[in-house]
Amino acid sequence: MGETVLITGGAGFIGRHVSEALLARGHRVRVLDALIEQVHQGRGRPAELAADAELVIGDIRDESTLITALKGCDSVIHLAAEVGVGQSMYAVDRYTSVNDYGTAVLLQQLIDRPVRKIVTASSMSIYGEGLYRDLDGRLYEEVVRAGRARDGGWDPVDAEGRPLVPMPTPEGKRPALASVYALGKYVQERLTLTVAPAYGMACSALRLWNVYGPGQALSNPYTGVLAIFSSRIANGQPPMVFEDGEQRRDFVHVGDVAEAFALALEQDAADGEVFNIGGGEEKTVNQVAEAVARAMGRPGVAPEVTGKTRVGDIRHCIPDISKARQQLGYTPRQDFDAGLAELAEWVARQEATDRVGEARRELEVRGLVA
């Protein structure tokens, strides 16, 4: 018999796909979502939300709403959060209220209404810079960039000025919280892993890398980078790339992420653990921008390289997903180029307002771009 699962923030991009994955497994799904304007543009219940998913509209911070949403639930997948590294650095109170306090209110209600398991969405942003090694093979866990290197490049260097080599980052790497968003995601996962076991609830947290796929909020300039690039290209503008575009990233399809949440909910091996969830294939931001343009039938569109950086940005961070493979049985299955083709086909059917320039000006006015 399936469970009744509450998905907080479940009307969003990831939540809708998680709903479908759980329904396909025979679970019953209830979604709690505030349907905020920045993400949903005031459109009400998203058409992409599964018809069989029950929707409760309300704020994660409202106790009475949570009591209603939790009634009869067996497990919780906690996705509700404000998302965006850059925006978090000037909307500090909003991000801290929703992400930190919202998680606290949820856990407070679960003390009196415990569930079998809670799985919380964390983020690769908690690592700051990923793991590096120097040319002598020494590992560096706490790399902090203080502007550009002495040679004018963007890559971190060792004490002798030699470039550091990015390595796959395991879950055991010490966090380096470089933004308000990163701090909030770390608080979310630590609150979950601290409070839930004290009241007999199983729990785990998934540290998500750059999630992409059909259904992202194209008009939200703080959504995933692939959706931002797609929106720019669809509006006849080049993708905007910070620094030199050679930052290395991992991109994971939303379908693979949904599968990871379903596995974490079902697998006892997930209990009390955190897992990196990525696609397992690193690419530079420039490569990705060019690939998106090709997928959208505009291969001649070159990215606009700004040569500037944003406060809170990191240079390289790629995941070691071996723990998720071994303990969850997680395997990323979506081919990247096929995933981009799917995204491009979906974007072609949408109307997207390009607000990237507006978001950049907001950061510049506040001194958060250098």
Q: What is the pLDDT of residues 207-225, one digit of tens each?
A: 999 998 888 766 555 556 7
Give the sheet arrangement for strand 282-284, strand by strand: 210-212, 248-253, 282-284
Q: Give me the domain span that covers residue 156.
A: 132-166
Angle at 53 between CA 50 and CA 55, to 5 degrees: 115
Q: What is the pLDDT of residues 81-93, one digit of tens each?
A: 998 887 888 899 9
Q: Residue 5: enclosing H or E segment and its boundaries?
A: strand 4-8
Query: Cα(180)–Cα(93) distance, rounded to whole angstroms?
Result: 10
Do both 259 and 138 map to the same domain?
A: no
Do 261 and 213 touch, CB atoms closer than 8 A?
no
Q: Please give the pLDDT value at position 11.
A: 93
Do both 83 and 161 map to the same domain?
A: no
SS3 250: strand
Which residues 6+ apart lie within 8 Å of 314 measured at CB? 125, 127, 128, 129, 130, 145, 178, 247
Q: What is the pLDDT of residues 300-322, one digit of tens each?
A: 788 888 888 777 678 899 999 99
The mean of the pLDDT values for the chain is: 88
Domain tally, the chain: 2
Let me know if residue 45 belongs to a domain: yes
Q: Please give the pLDDT value at position 370.
A: 46
pLDDT bracket for residue 191 (50, 70, 90): very high
pLDDT greater at residue 296 or residue 124? 124
Do both 162 and 238 map to the same domain?
A: no
Do both 305 and 157 map to the same domain?
A: no
For residue 307, count other CB atoms closer than 10 A to its CB. 11
pLDDT greater at residue 86 or residue 280? 280
Residue 355 above 70 pLDDT? no
- Provide Rg for the chain, Cα atoms: 20
Let me know if residue 317 belongs to a domain: yes
When pLDDT is averaged across residues 229-258 and rounded to a whole number, the result is: 88
Q: What is the pLDDT of residues 137-163, one digit of tens each?
A: 999 998 877 666 566 678 888 888 888
Do 175 and 127 touch, CB atoms closer than 8 A?
yes
Do both 147 and 285 map to the same domain?
A: no
pLDDT greater at residue 5 or residue 178? 5
Joined together, the tokens standing for residue 319 give 């995941």
For residue 1, count other CB atoms closer than 10 A to its CB. 6
Where are the alpha helices (H) located in 42-173, listed in sequence order? 63-70, 85-88, 92-95, 102-112
Look up 330 and say whether it is catalytic: no
Do both 151 and 263 map to the same domain?
A: no
Q: Please give the pLDDT value at position 224.
A: 63
Residue 242 above 70 pLDDT? yes
Do 296 and 234 touch, CB atoms closer than 8 A?
yes
* Domain closes at, from 140, 166, 192: 166
Do 50 and 25 touch, CB atoms closer than 8 A?
no
When pLDDT is averaged across residues 276-289 and rounded to a whole number, the result is: 92
Looking at 95, 127, 132, 181, which residue is catalytic? 181
Do both 14 and 105 map to the same domain?
A: yes
Q: Please give the pLDDT value at position 107.
A: 98
For residue 227, count other CB atoms closer than 10 A to its CB. 25
* Domain closes at, from 117, 141, 166: 166
Joined together, the tokens standing for residue 199 give 């009241």
When pLDDT is averaged across residues 266-288 and rounded to a whole number, the result is: 94
pLDDT bracket for residue 121 (50, 70, 90): very high
Let me know if residue 10 belongs to a domain: yes
Q: What is the pTM of this model?
A: 0.89
Q: Where are the beta strands (DSSP E) in 132-230?
A: 132-133, 139-140, 165-166, 168-169, 202-208, 210-212
Query: Tell me, what CATH number does 27's domain have?
Result: 3.40.50.720
Do 79 and 61 touch, CB atoms closer than 8 A?
no
Let me know if residue 370 belongs to a domain: no
Amino acid letter, 282: E
When pLDDT is averaged across residues 98-114 and rounded to a whole number, the result is: 97
